[in-house]
Structure 1
Amino acid sequence: MKILFFTHLTEEFPALIDELKEKWKEHSFICARSKDEYLEHALDSHILVYGNPSDDIIKRAAELKLIIVPYAGVGQLNFPLIRSRMISVANSHGNGAVVAERALGLAMACCGRIVEFHNDMKEGNWHRTGDQSRPFDYWYSIAGKKISILGTGSIGKSLSRLLKGFDCSVLGFRKNSGELTDYFDAITTDLDEALRFGDLVFLALPSTKETENIISRDKISLLEGKFVINVGRGSLIEEEPFFDALKSGTVKGAGIDAWYEYPSKENPAVTGSAFPFHELPNVVISPHAASHAPEGKLGQLTGACQVLETYLHNGTVINSITGDY
């Protein structure tokens, strides 16, 4: 089979591709370094390791059997067209532990008011109140707190494991019931229960038709007094009421890595939303960078290679995408 990679990851971690070539000598491995090289090889490839093939390629690539997205997000793909061609799609879960680490960092920065205190101290504000009965402005510890994690996949599991080091009680939310997942104290399929439970609510769900605005305006009231950390997708939580709740202090704080607006050639300097989340002192912002550590990127390519090798070995597609996108 002909396997075509079109991702910067093969240039960053070439040893993984060299290992594939050595192990699977009966197959052809191409690492495209440019769009022209990608287009030259795409039409007769059997497997494509790339996150955003065009509709034209999907229609014309007669031999294409499998698309492996070398990261988690797949919402950019035209699934009706892909499925009409009987092409399988899988993604990589290899960066879950690193994204979980970033989520915990956002939580600690947000609850700890680290960015707020940092910025204020540069101006000489030491956050002493002058009130003898309560002389200090407080930050909030996560130790021993109740935690809700929406999404019990690779990110959610890794995050739950990390939070156990803080003696937290962790409730996971997922759409289907089943066996208890490692490191979670309990699992629920009831969204309201999950939102009510946690002092901190972590969002680690994918973007699907089912999850769009899963935390809608009427659900945001359940987040009163809580911290929200989003490393999933911006579309999980309704934008304007979320901003309003943070601005008013109804939601105590947020750490946000997943956004509503992203840079483009026409508008390269967006701040993530039509609303000024970045101006709120109780919000810590991050430019969708939760996987942007060397370990995270190596994990992405390693995960993609695991999908590929399993398919080459026995034709099984692991991490197969079957939801309604």
Structure 2
Amino acid sequence: MAKGTADVVQRRLVLKKAIEMKVLCLWHATQQEVGKIRAAMPAGTEVVVPAETDYLSRYETTYDDLEPHARDADAFIGWTIPAGILEVAERLKILSWLHVGVDDLRQIGAFTLLAQRGAKLANIAGANAIAIAEQGMMLMLALAKNAVVKHQMAVEGRSSFPVWGDENRSAMLQGRTVGVIGVGSIGGRVAKYAKAFDMNVLGVRRNKEHSAEGVDKMYGPDELHAVLAQCGYVVVATPNTKDTTGFFGKAELASMKQGSFLINVGRAATIQEKPLYDALTSGHLRGFGTDVWWRYEFGRTFPIGWGSRLDIQRLPNVICSAREAHNADDVLERSIEWGIDNLVEFAEGQPLKRAVSLEAGY
């Protein structure tokens, strides 16, 4: 068979496979959202949504909502997965996860199940990178400029005295050094934004041979302590994997400059809470900013729950938000668009640009 003919046959096989796909939306998708999926996918693709119910959040569904469609679905797309749904989805070939982080999936055993089925996993890596990087810069500036304290002083009609006293003076970004730990889609943008403030930017990533715009010098993980010792600001932007969970602890905090600032826009579990609390209350760190918080789970911790068990958020040198960085203009629309792209790539037999390695965990 000639190569051209073989290519045509292969393309027809791919399209036949795509036409037979059934896509299940794991949320109460609007007709407009469903229409976008249908318009992007090959003709004949079936797109189904859970039956309308009296839901609390349209992004959440129950087992009963999804079970009738899940058993013969070829593809899932959504933000949440009720317990038991993956187990009954015996025909599942791809999960398009509308989050960047996938550690929740790993914790519920989804990686193992998907691997056993030979199914693919793709996320929306980078979809919220701009919003989160902007939040990181906001936290950095708010810490440096003592924004919350000075806002409250203005509300109360007070002014700084003595002028230029250590307790009220703002820090500067211009000419200072920031270390970006994890130079991916988020960390890379933080580096670019920091250069706009005339900062010296040092990066740390797994492969230091891969340069990035805005990074003056790249280092490997084995050089982390040497980088920390040079920085007035440190931004942690790593995912939570088996290699990064708790990697930033007592030794790393001790390596940081006295009076430096730490910002976390990655995952809370990468920074150990007790050493961080000690560094903040001892005065070793001048301040900490974060949008991400620890999650303590039954079977691993007691008590369970979200947040800081040491009330780090109440410390006077901490500025924070509660998992709100992604809650910004454009992010929802981009998340769905990129999630659809995953399905289209799979249906057409293309490599998945945002494939998640079930072995590596990201």
TM-score by length of 1: 0.88
Match of 2:232 among 177, 199, 202: 199
User: In the TM superposition, what are the counterparts of 1:73-112 in structure 2 within 5 Å?
Assistant: 73-77=101-105, 78=109, 79-93=111-125, 94-112=127-145
Aligned-residue CA RMSD in angstroms? Answer: 2.6
Name the residue aligned to 2:23.
Answer: 3
- In the alignment, which residue of structure 2 is the partner of 1:65? 93
Offset, 1:55: 5.9
- Hey, what's the Cα distance between the residues in 1 that align with 2:166 and 2:287? 22
Q: Does 1:209 align with 2:242?
A: yes
- Cα distance in 2 for residues equivalent to 1:59 and 1:134: 62
Matched, 1:119 2:152: yes
Count residues in correspondence. Answer: 316
Residue in structure 1 matching 2:282, options 242, 248, 252: 248
Contact 1:51–1:74 at 8 Å: present in 2 too? no
Is the contact between residue 4 and residue 31 of structure 1 (CA under 8 Å) also seen in structure 2?
A: yes
Alignment check: 8 A CA contact 2:72 2:90 kept: yes
CA distance in 2, matches of 1:278, 1:119: 17
In structure 2, the partner of 1:169 is 200
CA separation in 1, counterparts of 2:202 and 2:32? Answer: 39
**1:42 CA displacement:** 1.5
Asked if the contact 1:146–1:200 (Cα under 8 Å) also holds between the matched residues in 2, the reply is yes
List runs of 5+ in structure 2 lacking aligned partners: 1-20, 53-60, 299-304
Output the TM-score relative to the length of structure 2. Answer: 0.79
| 1:267 corresponding residue in structure 2 | none
Amino acid of the structure 2 residue aligned with 1:21: R
Moved more, 139-148 or 173-182: 173-182
Q: Deviations over 1:116-166 (max 9, x none)?
A: 222244344322227xx8598211121232111111211112222222211
Distance 1:49-1:279 versus aligned 2 partners, 3 A rule: same
Structure 1 gap segments, 5+ residues each? 265-269
Distance 2:254 2:264 in 1: 17
Summarize deviations over 1:153-198 as a string: whole Å, max 9, x none.
1111222222221112222211233321233222211322332232
Counterpart Cα distance in 2 of 1:150 and 1:212: 14
Distance 2:237 2:197 in 1: 19
In the alignment, the residues of structure 2 paired with residue 161 and residue 191 of structure 1 have an alpha-carbon distance, to the nearest angstrom, of 20
* CA spacing shift, 1:44–1:150, aligned 2, 3 Å: same
Q: Are residues 1:26 and 2:44 paired?
A: yes
Secondary structure in 2 aligned to 1:197? coil
Higher Cα Rg, which structure: 2
How far apart in 2 are the matches of 1:123 and 1:262?
38
Aligned-pair identity in percent equals 26
